[in-house]
Each structure stands twice: as structure tokens, then as C-alpha cells.
Amino acid sequence: MAEEKNVKKEKEKDRGRWFREMKSELKKVVWPAPEKVAKNTGTVFLYSLTFGAFIWVFDGVAALFIKTLLDFFG
């Protein structure tokens, strides 16, 4: 019974230590300015659209090529 209490206290100490360390680390974080976040978000959105369009075009060309092959040999 006494060992269970000691284990429980150790877990609580570990949890408290973890939260203290997390708080300490979060104070070290340098958060970006809102303008930088907006610029990066726009960049990610633009690249996602570009890459999506590339995949869409490639898929259409590949489907047309396969359909042409099937029509030619089938």
C-alpha cells in the first residue's frame, strides 16, 4: 500500500516537472508576426493549387492516353 502511494507521488512529481519544463520551453518560442503567417499561408495555398492543377492535368492526359491505347488495341 505504501509503495502505491510512493508511485502515485512520483507520477505527480513527474507530471508537475513536465508542465514546468513545457512552460519554460514555450517561453523560448519566437512566434512569427501575423504578416509572415499570412504570407506563408498564401504561399502554401498557391503551391497547393499549382500542384493540384498539375496532377489534374497529368491525370487527364494519362486517362486520354490509356483510352486511346484501349481503343486502338481493343
Question: Could you report the per-residue pLDDT of 31-53, keeping only the tens digit for each?
Answer: 999 999 999 999 999 999 999 99
41 vs 35: CA distance, rounded Å: 10
What percentage of the chain reaches a pLDDT higher than 70?
A: 84
End-to-end Cα spacing for the chain: 79
pLDDT at 74 over 90: no
The total number of residues written for the chain in this structure: 74
What is the pTM for the complete model shown? 0.58
Higher pLDDT, 74 or 33: 33
pLDDT at 8: 64
